[in-house]
Amino acid sequence: MFGLELTTIWFVLIAVLWIGYFALEGFDFGVGMLVPVLARDETERRVMINTIGPVWDGNEVWLLVAGGATFAAFPEWYATLFSGFYLPLLIILVALILRNLSFEYRHKGDTASWRARWDVAMIGGSYVPAVLWGVAFANITAGVPIDADKEFTGTLFTLLNPYALLGGAVTALLFATHGAMFVALKTDGEIRHRARALAVRLGAAAAVVAVVFLTWTQVRTGDLSSAVAFVLAALCLLAGVAAAAAGREGWAFLGTFLTIVLAVAGLFLALFPDVMPSSTSAAYSLTTTNAAATPYTLQIMTWVALVFTPIVIGYQTWTYWVFRKRISTRHIPTAQLTAARD
């Protein structure tokens, strides 16, 4: 199909799904991480939460589809990944559940202590995945110990190596910067100006750490295509920070959005044709060929993807268009603010 192997097509599709997840859910995580930093009172906390209220659950669809597509298209990759990374992925899942519950239950109590407990769940549920996704993908890109039976032979401490921890720092800083850009784009008043100023500071720190990580990645596993993606990602981040400093929030958000898109794309380019390299022996690495499902399965999945992918993208685009306007403290109903202070 299209002159390409179906295994290659599905590797690209899975890469696109992960890119969409990190670029969209990334600012969700960033907003949650920055609530205690940017919001000065309950009103501003509600404003920040409301910026992502209409979209956060739709953004997580990308993760669900990426996991399902990996299971169906590359079952060996899925099996090795989820058995070897079981504990980190479980921690991410629990964090996401608590975070999602905080959005639903925070406003159902009238006491400050009730809201404070759910704020902890929201903030922690944003920080933990932001760091651990970076750790996980850094390990996938660099390679982990896999034996001839395609089984992970390391431990949790194997995954917590310096390169992977640096990857976690990069994703946390990038998502925080992305979230600050989004808050500046979606709000008005004092919180908008604070978010824009914070985005510049976070972006500068993210640029330094990201350049070190991407350079390290390029030296270890990269090629020309990944090098181009990484250079463009760095340029987009610098452009986004400059736009934020100039008060151009829309261009600033686009800059961090493209930074994440290009950086994740670069990781997948550095990974291909492997899907999970083995640090034990290159002969034991999982590739797009030996980890793939049967050709018939991939054919059926391809036709299903051709039908439903445009529908999902169209629906999400419509959602963002409908909720495109800025919000501020004046949009929070007075009755709800009075109840929140009681």
| pLDDT digits 0-9 by tens, 263-318 | 999 999 999 989 999 988 889 999 999 899 988 889 998 898 888 888 888 888 88
User: Taking residues 23-33, what's their average pLDDT?
Assistant: 93
- Provide CB contacts within 8 A for 143, sequence distance 6+: 221, 274, 276, 277, 278, 279, 285
According to the 3-state scheme, what is the secondary structure of 38-55? HCCCHHHHHHHHHHHCCC
Give the N- to C-terminal CA distance of the chain in Å, as an integer.
63
Q: Domain residue spans in the chain? A: 10-208
Radius of gyration in angstroms for the set of CA atoms belonging to the chain, rounded to a whole number: 21
User: Taking residues 81-107, what's their average pLDDT?
Assistant: 91
User: Taking residues 223-244, what's their average pLDDT?
Assistant: 93
- Amino acid at residue number 105: Y
User: Taking residues 248-266, what's their average pLDDT?
Assistant: 95
Residue 223: what pLDDT?
Answer: 85
User: Taking residues 86-97, what's their average pLDDT?
Assistant: 93
Structure tokens at 168: 């976690």
Residue 342 burial (C-beta neighbours within 10 Å; 0-12, 13-18, 19+)? exposed
Read off the pLDDT band of 4 (50, 70, 90): low
Residue 2: what pLDDT?
Answer: 43
213 pLDDT exceeds 90?
yes
Q: How far apart are CA 167 and CA 133, in angstroms?
A: 9
Over pLDDT 90: what percentage of the chain?
A: 58
Residue 3: what pLDDT?
Answer: 41
Read off the pLDDT band of 334 (50, 70, 90): low
337 pLDDT exceeds 70?
no
253 pLDDT exceeds 50?
yes
Residue 331: what pLDDT?
Answer: 66
Read off the pLDDT band of 222 (50, 70, 90): confident
